Amino acid sequence: MGVSGSGKSTVAGILAGALKWDLQEGDDLHPDSNVEKMASGQPLTDADRWPWLETIADWIRAHTEAGEPGIVTCSALKRSYRDVLERGSEGRVVFVHLAGTRERISGRLNARMNHFMPSGLLDTQLSTLESIGSDEEAIVVDVGPPPAEIAATIIAELERTRGI
Ligand SMILES: Nc1ncnc2c1ncn2[C@@H]1O[C@H](COP(=O)(O)OP(=O)(O)OP(=O)(O)O)[C@@H](O)[C@H]1O
Ligand SMILES: O=C(O)[C@H](O)[C@@H](O)[C@H](O)[C@H](O)CO
C-alpha cells in the first residue's frame, strides 16, 4: 500500500519473484471508468473505490481460502478501505506501507513515463492517506533505499514476525 508513485508495483514485482508468490496488480482491477477519471486528472471518490476494493478483497479471500500466499498492490489509503480488503481474511493479511516524503515521491512520479496516473494527483493521494493504526497488522518501510533493498527488508520482517 501507499500513494501513487511510492513504488508498489516495483517492489511487489521483486517480492513476488523472490518469494514465488502470486502477484496481482491492483490497478489492473480498476473499471475503465476509474482509470479514465484518474487519467483526466480527477481523484477517485469513495464511491468509485468501493467496488474496486471489493474485487481486490475477493482475490485476497480466494487465496486465503486456498491457503495460497499472494501479493496485491493497492493504494489502500484509508483505514476503512483496508478493513474491506481484509474482510473474510482477518488475521491473514499483512499491509506493507511504502512510506516516503512528498518531495521524494513527486520526483519519482515526474520522472515516470507511460503511466496513466498524473503526478498532479499526488497531493490528493497524500491528503487521503491515513497512517497505519497500532492495531493493524502492518510493516512500514521507508522508500528511500533502492527497490531490492526495500524488498529484502520486507522479507526479513516477514520472516521475523511471520515465520515465512
Ligand atoms: N525505491 C526506489 N528507488 C528509486 N526509484 C523507485 C523506487 N521505487 C520505485 N521507483 C520508481 O518510482 C516510480 C514509481 O514507482 P511505481 O510505479 O512502482 O509506484 P506505484 O506505487 O506502483 O505507483 P502507482 O500507484 O501510481 O501505480 C517508477 O518509475 C519506479 O521505477
Ligand atoms: O485509490 C486510488 O486513488 C488509486 O488506487 C490510485 O492510487 C491509483 O490506482 C494508482 O496510484 C495509480 O497507479
Q: Which amino acid, residue 85?
A: L
ipTM of the complex: 0.97
As a CATH number, domain 8-162 is 3.40.50.300
pLDDT of residue 139: 98
Residue-wise pLDDT tens digits, 73-118: 999 999 999 999 999 999 999 999 999 999 999 999 999 988 989 9
Q: Which of 75, 114, 127, 129 to mutate to test the pocket of ligand 2 (most atoms within 8 A of CB)?
A: 75
Domain ranges of the chain: 8-162
Query: What nine digits make up the cell of 163?
Result: 515465520
Residue 109 CA to chain centroid, in angstroms?
16
- The burial class, CB within 10 Å (0-12 / 13-18 / 19+), for 143 is buried
For ligand 2, whether the C-beta of 117 sits within 6 Å is: yes
User: Per the structure block, which three cell numbers stand in for 73?
Assistant: 498492490
What pLDDT, on a 0 to 100 scale, did the predictor assign at position 114? 87
- The predicted pLDDT at position 47 comes to 98
Q: What is the pTM of this model?
A: 0.97
Give Cβ neighbours of residue 156 (< 8 Å, ≥ 6 apart). Answer: none
117 within ligand 1 shell (Cβ under 6 A): yes
- Is any atom of ligand 1 closer than 6 Å to the C-beta of 112? yes
